Amino acid sequence: MEVLSYWALFASSFLSATVLPFSSEAVLAAALMNGGDPIRCLVLATLGNTLGGMTGYLLGRWGRQALYAPRAGLSRGRQQRWVARIERHGAVAAI
């Protein structure tokens, strides 16, 4: 199996754990059926999923910090009302 296939496996595992809603297990199965080293494939898929999950967590944390950061053009009272609304209704309040 080529090196590019291993990179594709890692990338699909990373992206499926962060922003793209698809199953990276299909890519793992294809890599194994095409003669990929099982240990290397398992390590790369695990590493990609783990790093993708950590990235998602960090993006969520960054988004929460950005929510409470002072906004240019918003008064303090208006900002507090929006924060209360978002905490009360969740993501639906952002629509």
49 Cβ partners below 8 Å, 6+ apart? Answer: 13, 14, 16, 17, 24
* Model confidence, pTM: 0.66
User: Structure tokens of 55?
Assistant: 């990235």
pLDDT 10s digits, 6-43: 999 999 999 999 878 888 899 999 999 999 999 999 99
CB atoms within 10 A of CB 93: 13
- Domain boundary assignment for the chain: 3-94
pLDDT of 46 reads 96
**Distance from CA of residue 11 to its chain's centroid?**
12
User: Structure tokens of 77?
Assistant: 């009272």
Q: Quote the crossing angle between the two packed helices 38-68 and 3-18, to the nearest 10°.
A: 30
pLDDT band at residue 72 under the 50/70/90 scheme: low
